[in-house]
Structure 1
Amino acid sequence: MQPTILQKYGEARLPRYTSYPTAPHFSPSIGAGDYAGWLSNLPANEPTSLYLHIPFCRAMCWYCGCHTTITARDQPIVDYLGMLRKEIRMVAAKTAQPLSVEKVHFGGGTPTIVEPADFIALVDLMRERFDFTPTAELAVEIDPRTLTIEMAGALAGAGIGRASLGVQSFDPIVQKAVNRIQSEEQTFETVTQLREYGVTRVNFDLIYGLPHQTIRSCVDTAQVAAAMRPDRLAVFGYAHIPSFKKHQRMIDEAALPDGVARSEQAQAITETLVAAGYRQIGLDHFALPDDDLTLAQATGKLRRNFQGYTTDDCQTLIGFGASAIGRTAHGYVQNEVPLGRYAEQIDTGCFATTKGYLLTAEDRLRADIIERLMCDLQADVAAICVRHGFDLATVLNANDQLEALERDGVLEIANGVIRLCGGHRFLVRAAAAAFDAYLSASPRTHGKAA
């Protein structure tokens, strides 16, 4: 990619578009009462995904952008699980009939910091209160440094079928610079344990753009990771936001690669994983040829949500726990982020919703276009407009960002279809941003409803 093009479009901090509108545009005008009403009005047998946030870790990784709390004691975790169970019961009591659950994802933090027996009990409670479909998939995020044999067995016993392991980098220099020491042997042992217990689908998370990271170290990490044969890999660029995440101030900014170097690292990882037999999925995921994610991309059924690229096509997502985000056909809701305020709300029998967003018809149109671009690197905007009952001019006319991208050869537009041009996959977020009504490039034709 030409450095001038990268500097023009790639350096800007654009959303990852795991939702639209993105979370910074959620409003406190949507609260617990709205959420309760949305739950009560869910259609019968509505396919549903569940997300449970476990916001605890034993040590802080300095690159982390998640909502998490460091604790050496177990009591705060036990207390939190009590609130989580109460929230599960509250949601179950509010819906007209048990939710039809197709996907469950445990995120964090470190979900496997929970005691094995408590984890199994939590899953049992959900199975008791909700209607899990026969093909329901349960997934969990894992820190290989803290996973025990007992927990590996508990995951399998609870029906976990997929595990996502944080790897980030195997370079010891990089690991020291971000306060996450994790050996190749430790990671391999975790993968082996999980597979032996029957948790056979394994994902890895890698990060580029970390301090002291080089193309060579990125390639080495990708080669070692690929040799362990995870089903999928997610490759993210490090987002340095020390004003928002104060622990990131521990990172030496002078050791961070610039935009061009980050692009070169991402490309090197891509070439390494593709050479190892993985298919590139969307912007930053990779999967084996027979993985469901690869098949979804080939058939135009790839989706994108808060976990990244997915096969999850549920319109309803119920989020449990502090900071958790949920979604229904009406819009988005997010729980209180501070643990204390979350617990106070749940303990009094009130939903912990602190903000949200009521979707408009135009929001749904733009969300559809953005998701197709992010998933397929192209979008039939004309057909999407027809499906949503909008005129094509709504999103194409006077769209300066889109016109600039076309002039610079980043994308092409023909008969209402937009396609990223070869070599510019890395700029798909810039193309998606051209349809974001909350960025100056794309004017909104209807007023905000929430």
Structure 2
Amino acid sequence: MQRAGEQISGTGAASRYSEAVPRYTSYPTAPHFHAGVTGATFRHWLRQTGTDDDLSLYVHIPFCDRLCWFCACHTKMTQRYEPVAAFLDALLCEIRRVGAVLGGNGRVRALHFGGGSPTILRPDDVMRLGDALRAAFRFARDTEISVELDPNDMDEARFDAFTAIGMTRASLGVQDFDPRVQKAINREQTFAQTKAVVDGVRSRGVQSVNLDLLYGLPHQTLESVAATIHQALTLSPDRIALFGYAHVPWFKKHQTMIADDWLPGPEERYAQQQETARIIRAAGYEPIGLDHFARPGDPLAAAAREGRLFRNFQGYTEDACRTLIGLGPSSVSRLPQGYAQNTPATAGYERIVRDGGLATARGIALTDEDRARAWVIERLMCDFAFSGQEAIRLFGEDGARIVAEARAAGCGAGEQMLVERDGAFVVPEASRALVRTAAARFDQYLAQGGARHSMAV
């Protein structure tokens, strides 16, 4: 990795940092989903699940008690619990319905609660939700259960409730500890609050703690973001996710609360990314793909070393399940046949579920070429390389076509975005921060439609 502040060489480097490309948590990406995938389609796909197929579950809670200006998630703010309670009734109904379609097939290996803020749920409702999931799906004995925690919501009863339903990993949104930055993003959260939650989950036997941090936020400087990283490291997290803030006000209107001139420019963002990554690595963490770090003994680090790293809508994971079932509004399911996404509007979701249907609103069925390109993009995002020979072995003519594309492109005169070494196509270390741009070269959908994306770095 480059030294802090060292820039990728070549003409127009700054424009490459700011190039708009997908994050590639899926391929094809969500802007290319369409209404041709319906609840009936999803039901048909679910029924093809085998008895012992491994499953992952994602449960989306679309409420927060405050709205952070930086957030691009599907969520809404509420100060009343009645809308949350009404939503939970619908969610429990969807859980029972999807479980009935599976008919006992599949075995849950991983469960992730996200949002929004899962911690907005009252402790008794956390327990109801955990009981409903275990009644509807068959869980493995060692299922990993991760929960996104908002430190502002946590109390002793919530600690106990999430522990009781089997939480094995806690993920805390930190973003930044600088008060000026926190005020600008409407996310005021002291270091003491964060530490109290880390201590609280660890005291209850939760061994894995992940911290989410952001660079590129309003009013951040190289010095201030480095200070946040040093503070976060004192909490000894097992994993760190270091994301670049995605400023997409055309997609999330509340981001207009963040003025453009508060944001660091492309070169400053790149310098922040390089410096924060350097500090984390110097503390003994291993880099995982583009934006994750883990202690050497963490399962995610082992998966990265051994070529067993994967990428999904929750980021990098060692979860190898081919079937991920999304529950709740806007959630996305990934099955061997394709992607299916629930309707994003909470009211519409509740109405469909209560009327007896599945909430699928759109998706995409995968072609053989889609699967080949998805594999190449995932390997680039996870390993910064893909084997041409393996691509051909796995995908035949489609793999051979992609290999030919990689060779023909030469990946840009002088850019060194991708080079061929001993039959593998490799993103050089100096260009790894731009791996999304390298992956985009194999995205046959990217030029279609008018989708807009966040900056490459």
TM-score if structure 1 supplies the norm length?
Answer: 0.95
Unaligned stretches of 5+ in structure 2? Answer: 1-6, 449-457
Kept after mapping to 1: 8 A contact 2:372/2:398: no
**Deviations 1:268-313, CA, capped at 9 Å, x for gaps:** 1101111111111110000011000100011110111111000110
More off after superposition, 66-75 vs 7-16: 7-16
Kept after mapping to 2: 8 A contact 1:10/1:430: no
Kept after mapping to 2: 8 A contact 1:54/1:106: yes
The SS at the match of 2:430 is: coil
Match of 2:115 in 1: 108
Kept after mapping to 1: 8 A contact 2:372/2:399: no
Match of 1:445 in 2: none
Match of 1:343 in 2: 350
Summarize the Cα distance change of 1:91–1:392 in structure 2 as closer, same or farther, 3 Å threshold.
closer
Displacement of 1:112: 0.8
Kept after mapping to 1: 8 A contact 2:410/2:419: no
Match of 1:448 in 2: none
Match of 1:309 in 2: 316
Q: Is structure 2 residue 149 aligned with structure 1 residue 142?
A: yes
**Comparing both chains, which one has the higher relative contact order based on Cα–Cα distances under 8 Å and sequence gaps of 6 or more?**
2
**Deviations 1:323-367, CA, capped at 9 Å, x for gaps:** 010011110000010111101100001001000100000000000
The SS at the match of 2:35 is: coil
**Deviations 1:107-154, CA, capped at 9 Å, x for gaps:** 000001101111112111111221110110011101111111110111
- The one-letter amino acid paired with 1:13 is A
Tell me, in whole angstroms, the C-alpha distance in 2 between the residues paired with 1:79 and 1:69.
14
Match of 1:329 in 2: 336
Match of 1:378 in 2: 385
Summarize the Cα distance change of 1:424–1:401 in structure 2 as closer, same or farther, 3 Å threshold.
farther
1:2 to 1, 8, 20: 8
Give the % identical residues.
44
More off after superposition, 431-440 vs 211-220: 431-440
Match of 2:77 in 1: 70
The SS at the match of 1:242 is: coil
Tell me, in whole angstroms, the C-alpha distance in 2 between the residues paired with 1:219 and 1:407.
32
Summarize the Cα distance change of 1:146–1:47 in structure 2 as closer, same or farther, 3 Å threshold.
same
Displacement of 1:402: 4.0
Kept after mapping to 1: 8 A contact 2:410/2:418: no
Summarize the Cα distance change of 1:285–1:351 in structure 2 as closer, same or farther, 3 Å threshold.
same
Q: Is structure 2 residue 367 aligned with structure 1 residue 360?
A: yes
Displacement of 1:391: 5.4
Match of 1:51 in 2: 58
Summarize the Cα distance change of 1:400–1:154 in structure 2 as closer, same or farther, 3 Å threshold.
same
Match of 1:447 in 2: none
Kept after mapping to 2: 8 A contact 1:411/1:421: yes
Match of 2:439 in 1: 432
Residues 195-214 of structure 1 correspond to what in structure 2 (within 5 A)? 195-214=202-221
1:118 to 114, 118, 125: 125
Match of 1:167 in 2: 174
The alignment yields a C-alpha RMSD, in angstroms, of 1.6
Displacement of 1:410: 2.7
Q: Is structure 2 residue 165 aligned with structure 1 residue 158?
A: yes
Q: Is structure 2 residue 201 aligned with structure 1 residue 194?
A: yes
Match of 1:133 in 2: 140
Summarize the Cα distance change of 1:259–1:152 in structure 2 as closer, same or farther, 3 Å threshold.
same
1:387 to 394, 405, 410: 394
- The one-letter amino acid paired with 1:27 is H
Match of 2:91 in 1: 84
**Deviations 1:187-220, CA, capped at 9 Å, x for gaps:** 0011011111122211000000011100111110
Tell me, in whole angstroms, the C-alpha distance in 2 between the residues paired with 1:87 and 1:275.
46
**Deviations 1:62-92, CA, capped at 9 Å, x for gaps:** 0000000100000111111100100011011
Displacement of 1:241: 1.0
Q: Is structure 2 residue 263 aligned with structure 1 residue 256?
A: yes
The SS at the match of 1:135 is: strand
Match of 2:47 in 1: 40
The SS at the match of 1:389 is: helix
- The one-letter amino acid paired with 2:104 is Q
Q: What is the count of residue pairs matched by the alignment?
A: 441
More off after superposition, 207-216 vs 141-150: 141-150
Kept after mapping to 2: 8 A contact 1:405/1:431: no
Tell me, in whole angstroms, the C-alpha distance in 2 between the residues paired with 1:214 and 1:148.
33
TM-score if structure 2 supplies the norm length?
Answer: 0.94
Residues 415-430 of structure 1 correspond to what in structure 2 (within 5 A)? 415-430=422-437
Tell me, in whole angstroms, the C-alpha distance in 2 between the residues paired with 1:202 and 1:211.
26
Kept after mapping to 2: 8 A contact 1:55/1:69: yes
Tell me, in whole angstroms, the C-alpha distance in 2 between the residues paired with 1:257 and 1:205.
19
Q: Is structure 2 residue 102 aligned with structure 1 residue 99?
A: no
Kept after mapping to 2: 8 A contact 1:406/1:412: no
Summarize the Cα distance change of 1:112–1:406 in structure 2 as closer, same or farther, 3 Å threshold.
farther
- The one-letter amino acid paired with 1:376 is D
